[in-house]
Chain A
């Protein structure tokens, strides 16, 4: 039977679509497995670089190895701890907020006293040119958190200006900074709520 005749048959068409779907899914799952390790490694390298950015100064231990996992609002939170003279001086953990296009994942460093050492966005899908000013490469906004704590500004002022708070929003993008501010605020509340475990008080390593 010729190809042209065969092509007209209903069964051929069904098989064709099925074969196309099967082949592409096989290709995709194969590729997903092939890239999984590399993607994970790349994201881990990103995380290490971000950790160094939100924890200025030197710590005597390897941050990635001194960790503690605590229950947070949205599942477990992995906390990295930086020590000086055996005492936990600073902690770093991830927080996430809702942005304009999916969640925004930030990493924040908090000192022993509960003050923010730094915040960096490590994963987001915000609009380029509008919402991506949360990246330090594209704006200074993310630095406005440094030195803040839950008493500066007071709790009800922990919001973007449009919502009556103290943090700037961007022209054309309010949802993005609102998401980040809420995430950071939640992160500070998490610190206050779990201070003893975070700072490893009472238990010597």
Chain B
């Protein structure tokens, strides 16, 4: 049982990462990762929606007939996103002013529909909730890493304006990596997003290939 949870966790965070393995959600990814803080905000909002949508889809999975599942899921997800949007606007207005744009973008995040379809509709509520959380955190991780790399090369800072998102207590996160940096606009613009995402993807492939090689070697040694 524990092994299953460990597998779901590992899948979400690394092996089957929304961005680095499934290559989903690239549209919001490229749009918002001009800084690490923006990535973090988008990631956390997406995680909340992903968690909720997985729980709801999983709990009604026996009622949904396969022929009409996609429209039902889409209506569900769009509703959830709108609810999150409205409640943030009403009750966390400061946060909404920072995240405003990102929230609506979550609707077009195909990773959410993807998880509803591939996982939540076939698994128990608890598993689906864990999967949603881990996939969301994996997505957040990818967004923060890509946003961080673009921000360092593009504007020479890291986590700039983090206090707007997380509150003044997190102002210590705001670093100036390169003082008096002139900026490298390409990294902030969408092409920079493609470049960084591509390089990180390649890097993950190399890491995974090395690990597989090592594992094969160990297995061989054990066999001989």
Q: A residues engaging B (CB < 8 A)?
A: 3, 7-8, 12-13, 16-17, 20-21, 24, 27-28, 31-32, 34-35, 38-39, 42, 45-46, 101, 125, 127-130, 137-138, 171-172
Contact = CB atoms under 8 A, between A and B. Distances in A.
B82 A28 contact: yes
B86 A31 contact: yes
B93 A13 contact: no
Please classify the interface of chain A as helix (H, G, I), strand (E, B), loop, or mixed, using the class held by over half of its residues. Answer: helix
B113 to A, nearest CB: 15
A163 to B, nearest CB: 21
5 contacts: A12-B65, A35-B89, A38-B91, A128-B102, A129-B34
A35 B90 contact: yes
B101 interface: yes
A35 B82 CA distance: 12
B68 A13 contact: yes
Interface of B: 31-32, 34-35, 38, 62-65, 67-68, 71-72, 75-76, 78-79, 82-83, 86-87, 89-91, 93, 97, 100-102, 161, 164, 183, 185, 188-189
Contact of A128 (B32, B62, B86, B91): B32
B188 A39 contact: no
A172 B154 CA distance: 13
Nearest to B72: A20
Given A7-B65, A138-B161, A32 B79 contact: no
Given A46-B97, A125-B100, A138-B161, 17 more contacts: A3-B62, A8-B65, A17-B71, A20-B76, A27-B83, A28-B82, A31-B86, A32-B86, A35-B89, A35-B90, A35-B91, A39-B90, A42-B93, A46-B93, A125-B101, A129-B188, A172-B189
Nearest to A40: B90
A20 to B, nearest CB: 5
B157 to A, nearest CB: 11
Contacts of A27: 79, 83
A7 B69 CA distance: 11
A87 B176 CA distance: 48
Contacts of A138: 161
Nearest to B79: A24
A127 B71 contact: no
Contacts of A32: 86
